[in-house]
Chains A and B, each alone.
Chain A
């Protein structure tokens, strides 16, 4: 079945370090891909998305590129801040369906000053 695999956390970084959170997917078709972020005590918020191969989603300094050949959607940021500390979820969904999101397990990021 369709699934999303994320790197296990926690990821611990110092402020201004480079961030990569790996995400790979298994899907029978061509899904849309998303990154959601969950701050402590809050619900999930859409961070960025890409709907077709080679698309790059970007927001708040975060980027991710839809790589069909490697079935990946890795999240990157050049310089993290303490305020980026949160749990990050990679997810996929298919057009033509009812927008059912399939989530990865989430990766916790902790950024220290």
Chain B
């Protein structure tokens, strides 16, 4: 079975450029999470969607970050304009209905470097 698929795996771009990260959740999962991982701050939850609707975006760092989920099989995380401090590994995860405490399944992440 296909797991959570993220693209690109690596992204290197210059400060000020727009960055778009993509995620395809596991088919049938209706909860989707975006995380950021850095050495300094560990794993941080950025935003959570349930049935394609953003439920909790309190972890989104600032207005430069935005996330969308236009349908059940696709989500994007956009940074515009990007800054060097955004360099991190970004993970997408999906799970079944949230109230059942189903485990989250993670993608392999996008390693983002902003120069």
Contact present for A43 and B109 (CB under 8 Å): yes
Tally of A interface residues using CB under 8 Å = 23
Bound complex: CA of A51 vs CA of B55, how far in Å? Answer: 24
The answer to whether A93 touches B42, judged by C-beta atoms less than 8 angstroms apart, is: no
Minimum CB–CB distance from B112 to chain A (whole Å) comes to: 15
Q: Determine the distance from Cα of A93 to Cα of B93 in the docked complex, in whole angstroms.
A: 15
Q: In the complex, what residues of B have CB within 8 A of residue A97's CB? A: 98-99
Of the candidates A44, A45, A93, A98, the one whose C-beta lies within 8 Å of that of B50 is A98
Report the bound CA distance from A44 to B91 in whole Å.
9
Bound state CA distance, A32 and B95, in angstroms? Answer: 15
B106 touches A99 (CB 8 A): no
- A interface SS class: loop
Over the window 73-115 of chain B, the binary record of Cβ atoms lying under 8 Å from chain A Cβ atoms (1 yes, 0 no) is 0000000000000000001010100111111111111000000
A100 close to B101 (CB less than 8 A): no
Contact B48 A43 (CB under 8 A): no
B60 at the interface (CB under 8 A from A): no
**Of B93, B98, B105, B109, which one neighbours A98 at CB under 8 angstroms?**
B98
CB of B4 within 8 A of chain A?
yes
Report Cα–Cα, A101/B98, bound state, in Å.
11
Contact B42–A100 (Cβ < 8 Å): no
A90 to B: closest C-beta gap in Å: 11
Interchain Cβ contacts under 8 Å between A and B, 9 examples: A34-B103, A43-B107, A44-B43, A46-B103, A49-B103, A95-B101, A99-B101, A101-B45, A106-B42
Q: B-contacting residues of A (Cβ < 8 Å)?
A: 32, 34, 36, 41-46, 49, 51, 89, 93, 95-101, 103, 105-106
